[in-house]
Amino acid sequence: MKFSSRRHWLFTTVAASVVLAGCGNSPYPAGLTGQSVYFLSQADDPRKLDPASSYRASEGAILDVICSSYYDYQPLKTKNFQLILGLGASEAKRAPYTYTDAKTKKPRVGEQWTFKVRRDLKFANDACFPGGMGRAITAKDFIYAFRRMADPAAASPVQGFFTDKIIGFDDLIARNGDLLKKGEGADYKTPVPGLQLDQKDPYTFRINLNQPYPQMRYLMAMHFTSPMAYESVDYYGKDIVHHPIGCGPFILEEWTPKRRIVLAKNPNRPAEYYPSEGDPGDKEAGLLANAGKQLPLVDKVVVSNITESTTGWNLFLQGYMDGWSVTQSNYQQVVSQQGSLTPEMQEHGIRLTKSSDVGVTYFAFNMRDPIFGGYTTEKRKLRQAVSLAVNSQEFIELFSQGNGRAAQTVVPPGIYGYDPKYRNPFRAYDPKLTRAKELLKEAGYPNGLDARTGERLTLYYDNAKTDAAGRQYVALISRQIQALGLRLESRSQRDVVWQSKIDGNDWQMTDYGWLADYPDPENFVFLLYGPNRRPGPNLTGYDNPVYNRLFEKMRAMDDGPERLKLIEQMRAISDEDCPLIYIQNSQKLSLAYDWLSDFKPNPVTNTALKYRSVDGEKRAERQRQWNKPVWWPLAAMFAVLIAGTLPAIQVVKNRHRRRVTHKD
């Protein structure tokens, strides 16, 4: 068919209109946002999703809803964290356990934990199982998960939690190490005295410890101890880190690194329900609206990897993200001077939730450093002086918009042993720095000058703060330290280089933080326990024998006045020695749309995804309202184009009309 020029124009215009009308700004496939799908984002891209080795927060948030554990946390109990049964059929039983020490050959009393697993558990369907159908889970799969933590190929970061406690676990690690040197695979067969299967009941297993360890129950709520199918390890080999297979509420449907993770409802998930009780006031706040409903409440979860906060914020405002965090950049737009949500945000159907992290950030001194480390009175006074010169409040104001508490000691709020009235004598900031300067003088550095050499003392600050916000951070600490009379030299390196310097003990002062693995003070005070030094969690290498003895005593105790007394004694010792300068107990401000069911953030659990419900229709309707195409710029562009073309057309026409005239 042959088009005339006019028809051609008409066809092109109609086709362009149809194509443009179909265009939208939605980053998702058409129709998806109207379904029961929860859209959220993560700035950090998970590197692996392996229960034995994943330790990053971004990995835990995904993995914990794929690989459930024996215990879980009651999500609504955030005042006193409470464990509930996950894959466990009954509460674990603790009993004294007598065994013969392999080295001394003498009888010792430890502790035996007996776990009974639910009988209705099945692994998610996967190609690693015969016929692609997930098989039943038994106690063997839990024991396999423990043994895998001793496998050097798995490189489990929490191996140390068990090495000195499970009887025979250290021998297993050593044996696996030897096998690795020979180029052989790890030993999964030789019996380990601390890891016992019940001979009669395939759903019962026992963990035998060489010491009482009440925190064992918390470790059974972490994904490291979730059941693992040996078939998956055999089938995927090294690639197992990209194929998490568990029996949680979700399965991994899609994982496109640096882009997207999609979780779908697991057809083999065990029955679990939304809790019907919470903290006082939760019912009135509507947090129990979904009580008794089977979990998960959404069919799918789409987690987008968004590294630029501006992009994420714009997607949230367009309704393409169900929730978002308040950051430095959007704080003033979101929070009014009274600290509540601004009217514009309220009109948009947005809800603001404030929550506290169970964690602490701090500057740390290397206790093995010849100048700032050590345990003499002078060294202690030197660290105390620096600690007194650091103003936490300025950090909180500048980097957290005033949201957060100035940390006083290592145990954060929400953890047993935290005392809101306690004030660390070396964290009391005085703008005149009177006491700090006195201590500096007593340490042998009057006005920051070395009394022996007359040289100004330099404090080297090793950090990975190379971005814009990081430079501000360094500038602030420099200013505070320089006010004391010391010179601060920042050594900023890339993250990997900095980490290797820290691990290699080649640093003087750095900054770090710790978030609760589990809600027990042991998980915080162990940061200063001598034997936990690198590669353990004790960054500073602090090693005070008195503190260590108290820790060992405290670790084995259940919460009570005696334990509290020990924690206070340890606090007094460590605050006096001052290996850490405590900065902040963070608070978080989160935003969510009203189509997403309200939910209380629980800082010690990563399973929030299964408790959220979404009104997809309401969301899709709002998205349509808020994202209508704006045509006028296109029309204006056309108008300008035409206006610019007209004179050119006139010029061409004039040229065509030109006639050669002959003058006589």
Partner 1 sequence: MSDWLSNIIPFVIVITLFVVIRRAATQPLWAEAIRRIKRNRLALMALCVICIFGATAFCDSISWRKDKNAPSLSLIDRAFERPAEPTYSAPFATMTFGEPTPRPLLGKHWFGTDGTGQDVFYQTLKGCRTATIIGGFTLLIATPLALLFGMMAGYFGKRVDDAIQYSYTILDSIPNILLLVALLMVMGRGLPQLCIALGITSWVGLCRLTRGETLKHREREYVRAAKALGISNIRILFRHILPNLLPLVVISTTLSFSGLVLAEAILSYLQLGVAQGTGSWGNMIDGARLELAREPVIWWNLSAASLALFILVLSFNIFGDALRDAIDPRLSS
Under the criterion CB under 8 A, does residue 625 sit at the interface with partner 1? Answer: no
247 burial class (0-12, 13-18, 19+ CB within 10 angstroms)?
buried
CB-nearer residue toward partner 1: 12 or 336: 336
The Cα 462–Cα 507 span in angstroms is: 6
Among 467, 552, 559, 576, binds partner 1 (CB under 8 A): 467
CB-nearer residue toward partner 1: 26 or 480: 480
Judged by CB under 8 A, how many residues of this single chain contact partner 1? 35
3-state secondary structure of 441: helix
Under the criterion CB under 8 A, does residue 318 sit at the interface with partner 1? Answer: no
Contact pattern from residue 381 through residue 410 relative to partner 1, giving x for each residue in contact according to CB under 8 A and a dash for the rest: -------------x--xx---x--------
Asked if residue 359 lies in contact with residue 513, where contact means CB atoms within 8 angstroms, the answer is yes
Token pair belonging to 572: 């007094």
Closest CA to 606 of 93, 222, 229, 121: 222
Q: Other C-beta atoms within 10 Å of 409: how many? A: 25
Strand locations in 517-607 (E)? 580-593
Among 10, 469, 649, 652, binds partner 1 (CB under 8 A): 469
Asked if residue 312 lies in contact with residue 46, where contact means CB atoms within 8 angstroms, the answer is no
Token pair belonging to 23: 């265009």
CB-nearer residue toward partner 1: 149 or 345: 345
CB-nearer residue toward partner 1: 18 or 468: 468
- Output the smallest distance, CB 479 to partner 1, in A: 6
CB-nearer residue toward partner 1: 393 or 548: 393
CB-nearer residue toward partner 1: 346 or 569: 346
- Output the smallest distance, CB 436 to partner 1, in A: 18
- Output the smallest distance, CB 351 to partner 1, in A: 19
Region binding partner 1 by CB under 8 A among candidate stretches 27-35, 40-48, 170-178, 468-476: 468-476
CB-nearer residue toward partner 1: 29 or 454: 454
Among 36, 58, 74, 309, binds partner 1 (CB under 8 A): 309
Closest CA to 94 of 223, 200, 208: 208
CB-nearer residue toward partner 1: 479 or 549: 479
Region binding partner 1 by CB under 8 A among candidate stretches 234-242, 418-426, 469-477, 498-506: 469-477
Under the criterion CB under 8 A, does residue 449 sit at the interface with partner 1? Answer: yes
- Output the smallest distance, CB 465 to partner 1, in A: 8
- Output the smallest distance, CB 495 to partner 1, in A: 11
Among 472, 499, 645, 650, binds partner 1 (CB under 8 A): 472
Strand locations in 470-614 (E)? 487-492, 509-515, 580-593
The phi and psi torsions of 395 (rounded to 5 degrees) equal: -65, -40
- Output the smallest distance, CB 217 to partner 1, in A: 42
The Cα 323–Cα 7 span in angstroms is: 49
Under the criterion CB under 8 A, does residue 500 sit at the interface with partner 1? Answer: no
Within 332-351, which residues bind partner 1 (CB under 8 A)? 332-333, 337, 339
- Output the smallest distance, CB 468 to partner 1, in A: 4
| Dihedral over Cα of 324, 328, 332, 336: its sign | positive
CB-nearer residue toward partner 1: 490 or 569: 490
Under the criterion CB under 8 A, does residue 354 sit at the interface with partner 1? Answer: no
- The identity of residue 222, as a single letter, is M
Asked if residue 459 lies in contact with residue 508, where contact means CB atoms within 8 angstroms, the answer is yes
CB-nearer residue toward partner 1: 216 or 443: 443
Under the criterion CB under 8 A, does residue 456 sit at the interface with partner 1? Answer: yes
CB-nearer residue toward partner 1: 264 or 449: 449
CB-nearer residue toward partner 1: 233 or 335: 335
Hey, what's the torsion of the CAs at 402, 403, 409, 414, to 10 degrees? 160
Asked if residue 386 lies in contact with residue 485, where contact means CB atoms within 8 angstroms, the answer is no
Residues ≥6 apart with Cβ < 8 Å to 640 = none
Token pair belonging to 422: 């306690």
Region binding partner 1 by CB under 8 A among candidate stretches 86-94, 194-202, 323-331, 380-388: 323-331
- Output the smallest distance, CB 23 to partner 1, in A: 26
Peptide bond before 535: cis, by omega within 30 degrees of 0?
yes
53-60: long-range pairs with CB below 8 Å, 24+: 53/154, 53/155, 53/156, 53/157, 53/241, 54/223, 54/241, 55/157, 55/158, 57/515, 57/606, 60/223, 60/606
Among 93, 259, 293, 479, binds partner 1 (CB under 8 A): 479
CB-nearer residue toward partner 1: 378 or 450: 450
Closest CA to 610 of 308, 296, 349, 381: 296
- Output the smallest distance, CB 273 to partner 1, in A: 41
- Please give the helix or strand (H or E) that residue 552 lies within, else none: helix 545-555
Closest CA to 417 of 583, 548, 563: 563
Among 100, 310, 340, 499, binds partner 1 (CB under 8 A): 310
88 burial class (0-12, 13-18, 19+ CB within 10 angstroms)?
buried
Among 90, 328, 340, 505, binds partner 1 (CB under 8 A): 328
CB-nearer residue toward partner 1: 471 or 549: 471
3-state secondary structure of 92: strand
The Cα 293–Cα 273 span in angstroms is: 5
The Cα 453–Cα 458 span in angstroms is: 13
CB-nearer residue toward partner 1: 180 or 449: 449
Within 43-102, which residues bind partner 1 (CB under 8 A)? none
CB-nearer residue toward partner 1: 469 or 651: 469
Region binding partner 1 by CB under 8 A among candidate stretches 76-84, 206-214, 357-365, 484-492: 484-492
Region binding partner 1 by CB under 8 A among candidate stretches 26-34, 237-245, 305-313, 558-566: 305-313
Among 35, 305, 490, 590, binds partner 1 (CB under 8 A): 490
The β-bridge relationship of strands 487-492 and 458-463 is: parallel
- Per CB under 8 A, residues contacting partner 1 are 309-310, 313, 328-333, 337, 339, 394, 397-398, 402, 448-449, 454-456, 465-469, 471-472, 474-476, 478-479, 487, 490, 492
